[in-house]
């Protein structure tokens, strides 16, 4: 398959480039320095020039707190941006793969969220991603929309890296224990994306690593697996760390539809974490990997 990955320098996009190449696809990548997805004309021209079988959009405005003070900029990328891509692809009969987030839900459900649960985002980022979902699915029925959560990977800022960096300057951490979700290794997600894409699937899928955990227990596991035995962690309520964007308390996504459709599940989150940590030292040593 000929695949155009937009946002190929980001955390997920960079792993998608590798995964698709390894799977034998012809892959081209564009990022903001070559294509700004907020321009409808630029999207039309880029899709026309690449002439792909599928466009996979990993470009997004991902600064969740930053979105609160830049609603317009955030919607331009996360909503209008994917709308522009969808339009360019619909006109040429091209498949679109796009990503959304657990933050489209309000977190009040006491069980894992399924694909057709009602959405009610608590923050501007979630609102913009939900509007992007709507624009995509209204524009084309040739779309695969994957909601995922709590991503970490080789590139960019993520929770695992932040916790490990903090251990260089402190031996005690306070971490919130009243938000629960599914940590997801970007590399594992790319395998699921390739499977769904090659299988010709359409519609909404929730894809995360298996199992769920609070940020506090996630932090404890990171420290334990990284051998940082001298660092202690205390559980604290969300109110101790007021942030511009409100987060859902429960954002666990159910992987049942993915299992029923593909016969597969992603591995448990702590197994993925162990593999990621075993690679972290070489990621850190490779200057090409540290984009941010
Ligand atoms: N990270 C998470 O925890 C998480 C959780 C759930 C869902 N998701 C979703 O997963 C997808 C991938 O996220 P990620 O964490 O890999 O994102 P990321 O690392 O922030 O990468 C996004 C890429 O898109 C680029 N970009 C930003 N604005 C653009 C524009 N106008 N035109 C073209 N490119 C643009 C960014 O460039 P700059 O870096 O220069 O801005 C960056 O290279 C997104 O749809 C995100 O909403 C992420």
- CATH number of the domain encompassing residue 95: 3.40.50.720
In degrees and rounded to multiples of 5, residue 8 shows phi and psi of: -75, -5
The confidence score (pLDDT) of residue 91 equals: 85
Nearest-CA residue for atom 42 of ligand 1 = 10
Residue 95 has pLDDT above 70, yes or no: yes
Choose one of 57, 60, 102, 148 to mutate for the ligand 1 pocket test, by most ligand atoms within 8 angstroms of C-beta: 60
In this predicted structure, the answer to whether residue 287 has a pLDDT above a threshold of 80 is no
Instruction: Compute, in angstroms, the gap from residue 174 CA to the centroid of ligand 1.
Output: 27
Residue 290 lies in a domain: no
Buried b (16+ CB within 10 A) or exposed e, 150-188: bbbbbbbebbbbebbebbeeeeebebbbebbbbbbbbbb
Q: How confident is the model at residue 281 (pLDDT cuts 50, 70, 90)?
A: low
Please tell me the distance from the alpha carbon of residue 120 to that of residue 200, in angstroms, as a whole number.
Answer: 29
Alpha-carbon distance of 172 to 132, in angstroms, equals: 39
Would you say residue 291 lies in a domain? no
For the chain, the domain total comes to: 1
Cα→Cα distances 120→66, 74, 124, 131, Å: 20, 18, 11, 11
| Residue 292 within a domain | no
CA of residue 61 to ligand 1 center, whole Å: 6
In ligand 1, the atom with minimum distance to the C-alpha of 76 is: 31
Portion of the chain with pLDDT greater than 90, in percent:
93
Rg over alpha carbons for the chain, rounded to the nearest Å, is 19
Residues with catalytic function = 125
What is the C-alpha to C-alpha distance for residues 60 and 9, in angstroms, rounded to an integer? 11
% of the chain at pLDDT higher than 70? 96
DSSP code of 78?
I
In angstroms, the CA 113 to CA 109 distance is: 7
User: Residues 149-164: pLDDT tens digits?
Assistant: 999 999 988 999 999 9
- Identify the pLDDT of residue 290: 43
The pTM for the full model equals: 0.95
Evaluate whether residue 178 is within a structural domain: yes
What sign does the dihedral 149-202-267-24 (CA atoms) show?
A: negative
| Residues 180/239, Cβ–Cβ less than 8 Å | no
Provide CB contacts within 8 A for 131, sequence distance 6+.
75, 78, 79
Ligand 1 pocket residue status of 185, Cβ below 6 Å: no
- 202 inside domain: yes
Assigned domain for 65 exists: yes
Q: What is the pLDDT of residues 224-276, one digit of tens each?
A: 999 998 999 999 999 998 999 999 999 999 999 999 999 999 999 999 999 99
Q: How confident is the model at residue 291 (pLDDT cuts 50, 70, 90)?
A: very low
How many other β-carbons are positioned within 10 Å of the β-carbon of residue 104? 25
Q: Is the dihedral of CA 135, 140, 146, 152 positive or negative?
A: negative
What pLDDT sits at residue 156? 87
Centre of ligand 1 to C-alpha 172, Å, is 31
Average pLDDT over residues 65-81: 98
In a domain? residue 53: yes
pLDDT above 70 (res 288): no
Dihedral sign of CA atoms 157, 162, 164, 165 in order: positive
- Is 55 inside any structural domain? yes
Question: Which residue in 175, 282, 154 sits closest to 223, CA to CA?
Answer: 175
Q: Which domain holds residue 155?
A: 2-285
Residue 280: predicted pLDDT: 76
Handedness of CA 172, 269, 149, 6 (dihedral sign): positive
Give 47's pLDDT tier (boundaries 50, 70, 90): very high
SS3 182: coil
């Amino acid at each position: 398959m000929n695949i155009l990955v937009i946002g190929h320098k980001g955390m997920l996009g960079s792993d998608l480039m590798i995964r698709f190449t390894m799977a034998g696809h012809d892959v081209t990548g564009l990022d903001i320095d070559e294509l700004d997805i907020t321009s409808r004309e630029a999207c039309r021209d880029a899709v026309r020039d690449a002439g792909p079988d599928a466009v996979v959009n990993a470009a997004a405005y991902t600064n969740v707190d930053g979105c609160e003070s830049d609603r317009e900029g955030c919607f331009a990328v996360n909503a209008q941006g994917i709308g522009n891509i969808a339009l360019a692809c619909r006109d040429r009969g091209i498949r679109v793969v796009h990503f959304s987030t657990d933050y489209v839900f309000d977190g009040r459900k006491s069980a894992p969220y399924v694909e057709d649960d009602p959405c009610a985002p608590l923050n501007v980022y979630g609102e913009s991603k939900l509007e992007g979902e709507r624009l995509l699915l209204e524009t084309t029925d040739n779309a695969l929309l994957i909601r995922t959560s709590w991503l970490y990977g080789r590139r960019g800022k993520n929770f695992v890296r932040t916790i490990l960096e903090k251990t260089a300057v402190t031996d005690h951490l306070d971490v919130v224990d009243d938000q629960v979700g599914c940590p997801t290794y970007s590399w594992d997600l790319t395998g699921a994306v390739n499977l769904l894409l090659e299988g010709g699937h359409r519609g909404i899928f929730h894809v995360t690593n298996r199992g769920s955990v609070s940020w506090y227990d996630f932090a404890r596991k990171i420290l334990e697996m990284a051998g940082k035995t001298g660092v202690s962690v205390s559980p604290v309520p969300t109110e101790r760390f007021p942030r511009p964007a409100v987060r859902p308390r429960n954002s666990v996504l159910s992987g049942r539809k993915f299992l029923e459709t593909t016969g597969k599940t992603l591995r448990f989150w702590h197994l993925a974490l162990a593999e990621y940590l075993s690679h972290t030292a070489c990621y850190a040593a490779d200057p090409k990997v540290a984009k941010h």
